[in-house]
Structure 1
Amino acid sequence: MFTQKSQLDVLTSVADGIAALFFPSVEVVIHDVATRKVAYIANNLSKRKPGDDAGLEELQGSDLAPVTGPYEKLNWDGKKMRSVSVATGSGNDPGYLLCINLSTAIFEEARNALELFLSVTRLQPQPEQLFRDDWQENINTFLHHWIRQRNTSLNALNRREKKELVIALHEEGAFRARNAAEYIASVLSLGRTTIYKYLREIRGE
């Protein structure tokens, strides 16, 4: 069994480790349940300090679940945090409450930036006069439609499937463009000689 001091020492090391691993977005606070005070803070994000009131006046040791959360909190700057509390007490020993607070602000800002960047409302239709004869665009569209129909991916295609795709592209008329064979060979990671071999077989040459 840990003594009261050694238990706090261990929890302090755990708090420092978690805060270091997830820096700068995670704060770890250790509350002393017996004194209802903050015992330790690693990577202080909440502007509290050891000795501050922990806000546990109404809480009894028996009320503490081993793990509580995750739940949402609001920090002093108005930014949201997600928290998990871990109780260390047992029997008549109230022990400590280890609270891990993750600031989600950086993730929300990243999400908002991605949503703004990828917003379809800012897209305009492709100008027909520019893309009517874009053979690469047409090949890309057909190729990925063919792949999606088979519930696979470009990188997962085996050699047999690549040959089947070349045949399908030929039937679609994809090889009418001057440099289509070289382009398709590059996209499928095949040699040009392999593409030309498939085309000869298709044409019965």
Structure 2
Amino acid sequence: MQTGLAAYVPICDAIALLFQPYAEVVLHELSSQSVVHIAGNFSKRELGEPSLLDEIGFDPRETTIGPYEKVNWDGRRIKSVSAVLTAQERPIGVLCINVDVSHFHGVIDALNALVHVSGGAQRHPLLFKEDWHERINEFVQHWTRSRGLLVTALSRDQKRQLVADLSKEGAFGGRNAAAYISRILGLARATVYNYLNQAAAAETGAPPDGGA
């Protein structure tokens, strides 16, 4: 982590501590395009993962981005805001604050149902709208909801099918995507690759290299 960003680490920790367990703060380093610090981690991101800012046409001349809405790996709705950090008038990082608002959405839904009020908040453009983390999260939540399932309670066969369906959607094209999918499904990375091998063999009719 470059020196200029190190000063923001206590700020990240303080924000996450003040709003725990609802806030996660992620610090991105622009020079390496990677995650260099995470406080209050609930997204299952890891240090050193690519920030993917180069894939979304990110404009470092912006100062504050958001608020915008995202979805977490387990379906929780996240409200986020990002700030571009500078040193000597040069952008060096991005500090993202993610707040879990799923509980508040539940309260709002209950109140809306009670007074028969319809409608909802407009979805803001996403900073990471092309981020494969977001695409994987959206696909997993659609896949589980459409089957009346929870990602935290999938059986082995259901996880195998989900991995196969993710593969068909091209979800494994992102850097470190297999590692991310293995974490959110609670699988060893070798098991994910084994499921991919089985899915490929099923499509071609060839016997898989290994069992489950």
Q: TM-score, normalised by structure 2?
A: 0.49
Counterpart residue type for residue 72 of structure 1: E
Q: As a proportion of its length, which structure holds more helix?
A: 1
Q: Which residue of 2 is the match for residue 53 of structure 1? A: 50
Q: Aligned residue pairs: how many?
A: 116
Q: Distance in 2 between matches of 1:15 and 1:27?
A: 8
Instruction: Please tell me whether Structure 1 or Structure 2 has the larger radius of gyration of its CA atoms.
Output: 1
Supply the distance in 2 between the matched residues of 1:95 and 1:60 (Cα, whole angstroms).
16
- What is the aligned partner in structure 1 of residue 109 from structure 2? 112
Quick one: which of 8, 12, 31 aligns to 2:9? 12
- Structure 2 gaps, min length 5: 117-212
Amino acid at match of 1:77: D
- 8 Å CA contact 1:19–1:27 kept in 2: the answer is yes
Percent identity for Structure 1 against Structure 2? 37
Q: What is the DSSP-based 3-state SS (H/G/I as helix, E as strand, rest coil) of the residue aligned with 1:77?
A: coil
Alpha-carbon shift at residue 55 of structure 1 (Å): 1.3
For residue 37 of structure 1, the aligned residue among 26, 30, 34 is 34
Contact 1:26-1:103 within 8 A present in 2 as well: yes
Alignment of 1:76-87 (within 5 A): 76-87=73-84
Aligned AA (2:25): V
For 2:13 and 2:88, the matched residues in 1 are separated by: 27
Which consecutive unaligned segments of at least 5 residues does structure 1 have?
121-205
Q: Which has the higher contact order (CA 8 A, sep 6+)?
A: 2
Aligned ranges 1:33-182 → 2 under 5 Å: 33-58=30-55, 63-90=60-87, 93-116=90-113, 118=114
Mapped partners of 2:58, 2:99: distance in 1: 24
RMSD between aligned residues = 2.5
SS in structure 1 at match of 2:109 = helix
Secondary structure of the 1:18 match is helix
Note closer, same or farther for the CA distance 1:91–1:13 as it changes in structure 2 (3 Å cut). closer
Q: Is the 8 A contact 1:33 1:61 kept in 2?
A: no
